[in-house]
Structure 1
């Protein structure tokens, strides 16, 4: 189980770090009579969401496994 969790987290990190295509975006703010432009605006696509979900699943699986092992050791039962 820990190998699956670590593999899931590592694959998630690799998926998140895939280079993204730049998106140009601007908006007109009618009350300010000015144009807003941002170079730091980030859109999260489906691939990034998948990567973050894999990282989350891996970390949750590791936490469950660690808690299970700790409980077994505390009760004195080893599997």
Structure 2
């Protein structure tokens, strides 16, 4: 069971990191869009930041719930 918990933790952590990287690149797009007066790039960056944050938050919550459920299974 410990192997499954570690696998779920690693997979969930990787997806959370991917979401946070999306937030970082979205912020970069917003910054460049503001700098170059490009509203389309600003909108794209905001969308990437929102979706990346949602992905990171939901994935972290689901991963924690799965790990808690696995730890509560009878041995």
TM-score relative to the length of structure 2:
0.43
Q: Looking at both structures, which has the greater relative contact order when contacts are Cα pairs under 8 Å and sequence separation is at least 6?
A: 1
Question: Which of 1 and 2 has greater Rg?
Answer: 1
Q: Which has the higher helix share?
A: 2
